[in-house]
Chain A
Amino acid sequence: MKLSKFPYLVQKEILDEMEYKNLFLLSLVSRNMKKLIKTSQKKRFKSISHIKYECSRYDSNTLVVYIPFKDRVDFILECFDAENIAIGSGPFQLDVSGRLIDFRKVDSVGSLLPLVYGSSTRCLLFRIHGVHQSTIASSSPHKYEFVLESIHNYIMDLFGTSMEYDWKMYTNDKKLSIPQLQNLSGCAIIQYQNFVDWVELELEEHFFSSSPVLKWIHMQIGSLKEFSPDSKFYMTESIDIFKIDGVLDLLRYFQGRQAFLNACRYESSDFIEFVKRWKSGNAFQKLEYFYCNDHCSYESMENEVLNAVAKYIDTTKKPPTHTLPLVHVCIDNKPNTNPITSYAYVVRETDGHVASILFQETMFRFGVWDKTEEEFLAMVE
């Protein structure tokens, strides 16, 4: 059966019926085939909102690349660290973004022979799941990042760049490097750790300094080694951190739009300084929303902070409610920030814009309005 003998629309319909992982493999067959896939599947690929790289560095290295949908995920490929993996049929080389990568066909992972790279029997395998078989690309561990980069570039070339590429990492490493992948829009880091003995996580500054500013970062960690105040980390549009130990200097250095800090304790002086700097217009110019909470109530410091910085709406009136779309929608798929309905507000000196401030039990919320004080007060009922 010669595929090219079919009219274009039939070829397109056949490709329409194929899963993403099979299209990925088909695209590796020839340059013309890749071109056909890109042309015929343009609309389908444009409907992909995210391509996710999910990596676990706990015990061993595994990585899955998948496309999430509302009701399912479609895997493109997976990569794992294997000590004893065996090969079903001989290797064949494929050109993946200009890098020749060894691919091998395996019938089942369990019944194969070891693969030896130099003196090491460890290797990293990229596997694409099929029904009965898998196709794997192998790489020695020291070449892992290069191979990953090539595969990422290839995926970007094939599927396009209209979607967001996210990196999610489960780790128990102390020092963490995030691969330098092009067009990465967000990064989630989840630290595996014994809760009694949290290790301070150190993220390599190099990743932030040499990459474009990320759209979002999500972290669930024990504690985090501080970044330099001018680190691009603080420029991330949305930072969402659940942290067990220590205070984070986000309240001082954040330059993005939305920040969510869980389990972070600040003093009243920190809040006062934060609000004063925002009011002056010298800092936090892009800020839209700031949220933090702690295990203990902020009740004791509420009056002190508000008396130092805030104005109040007439208590007989009903204040307007602040909410806005999240930059990064998390696992719970809630599209907007939690509402702030507060009598306390502050006004920025430079443009007269208003921000609502709310202390509520263990939470502090600060929401910036795209409105002047006059416009804001006109919304009061």
Chain B
Amino acid sequence: MSSTEQGTSSAAPAEPTTAPESAAAPEVPESFYYVHGKDKVVHKVSAGALQHSALIHGMISNLGYTEEQAKANPFPFENIDGDILQMVVDWCNQHKGKPTPPEDTNLPKQKEKLFDLVLAVNYLEIKELLTYCCKQVAMMVKGKSPEEIREIWMIPTDAEDEAAEKEAKKRAGKEAAGETAAAAGDAK
């Protein structure tokens, strides 16, 4: 279960709710950190769960925050939608300290959600979850014809690629010409 505080939308982190930890309390109290996404909803996550994310693990490993400091300084991930961050936090909590299974069937089935999840997971460097997500993305085109694959993954045709390349070249040419003109203006 995730230790998430839903509905808090202010920039300042509010008091988060904590999920009940397992009955056998660890001898050394576990440290917690706080993260929020685009929606500013703050999630309280244990350091153990956050170990899945190489990015966050790297950020917290030398911080030595006290509980109060951690609460006061949640990690902002403004590029990740709230619901996606929630999924990530849930996954990290579910797989805390456990070996990851060969498959994960709880990933979103909707294309756009999965797309956002892949980007978030890649950014947060959660290797196992990224592998599951990539498997799921690959499964989307299994047994499909090239035209269907094109549609599902929005792959441009050769003509579209060529037109885009031409356009990019044209733009680059214009920009270069603009820079040259500006430089000449400066020289005067």
**Pair B143/A130 contact, Cβ less than 8 Å:** yes
A105 lies within 8 A of B145 (CB): yes
Residue ranges of B at the interface with A (Cβ–Cβ < 8 Å): 111-112, 114-115, 118-119, 122, 130-131, 134-135, 137-138, 140-150, 152-158, 161
B119: chain A residues at CB < 8 Å are: 5-6, 10
Total number of A-B contacts with CB less than 8 angstroms?
A: 97
Min C-beta distance of A55 to chain B, whole Å = 24
User: How far is it, in angstroms, between the C-alpha of A135 and the C-alpha of B158 when the chains are bound?
Assistant: 21
**Which B residues are in CB contact (< 8 Å) with A3?**
153-155
Number of A residues contacting the other chain (C-beta, 8 Å)?
35
Within 8 A of B (CB), among A1-32: 1-7, 9-10, 13-19, 22, 25-26, 28-32
A92 within 8 A of B: yes
Q: Are A1 and B131 in contact (CB under 8 A)?
A: no
Query: In the bound complex, what is the Cα–Cα distance between A30 and B161 (angstroms)?
Result: 9
Task: Kindly list chain A residues whose C-beta atoms are within 8 Å of the C-beta of B144.
Answer: 22, 25, 130, 133
Are A14 and B138 in contact, CB atoms less than 8 angstroms apart? yes
Q: Are B145 and A103 neighbours in the complex by a CB distance under 8 Å?
A: yes
Report whether B146 and A4 are in contact in the complex, using a CB–CB cutoff of 8 Å: no
- The verdict on A4 contacting B142 (CB below 8 Å), with A10-B118, A25-B149 known, is no
The reply to whether B146 and A135 contact each other, CB–CB distance below 8 Å, is: yes
B150 adjacent to A29 (CB under 8 Å) = yes
User: If A2-B153, A3-B154 touch, does A10 touch B130 (CB 8 Å cutoff)?
Assistant: yes
Taking the complex as formed, is A94 at the interface, i.e. its CB lies under 8 A from any CB of chain B? yes
The reply to whether A1 and B152 form a contact with Cβ atoms under 8 Å apart is: yes
Q: Measured between alpha carbons, how far is A56 from B144 in the docked complex, in Å? A: 27
- For residue B143, which residues in chain A have a CB less than 8 angstroms away from its CB? 22, 129-133
Q: Which residue of A9, A10, A14, A31 contacts B158 across the interface (Cβ within 8 Å)?
A: A31
Residue in A16, A92, A129 whose CB lies within 8 Å of B134:
A16
- Indicate whether A33 reaches chain B with its CB closer than 8 angstroms: yes
Instruction: Let me know if B155 and A18 touch, CB within 8 A.
Output: no
A103 and B146 contact, Cβ closer than 8 Å, known pairs A1-B152, A31-B161: yes
A25–B149 CA distance with the chains assembled, in angstroms: 9
List, in ascending order, chain B residues with CB within 8 A of A103's CB.
145-146
Task: Tell me the bound Cα distance from A132 to B142 in angstroms.
Answer: 9
B111 contacts which chain A residues (CB < 8 A)? 1
| Pairwise interchain contact B161-A29, C-beta atoms closer than 8 A | no
Complex Cα distance, B148 from A105, in Å, reads: 10
Contact check, A1 vs B137: say whether CB atoms are below 8 A apart.
Answer: yes
Please name the residue on chain B nearest to A7 by beta carbon.
B122
The closest CB in chain B to the CB of A10 belongs to B122
Q: List 16 A-B contacts (CB under 8 A).
A: A1-B137, A1-B153, A1-B154, A3-B153, A4-B154, A4-B156, A6-B118, A10-B118, A10-B130, A18-B141, A25-B144, A30-B158, A30-B161, A32-B156, A131-B142, A133-B145
Which residues of chain A are near B141, meaning CB under 8 Å?
A: 18, 22, 26
Q: Which residues of chain A have C-beta atoms less than 8 A from B154's C-beta?
A: 1-4
Could you tell me if B135 and A32 are in contact, using CB atoms closer than 8 angstroms? no
What residue of chain B has the Cβ atom nearest to residue A89's Cβ? B145
Interface centre among A9, A13, A15, A19 (most CB of B within 10 A): A13
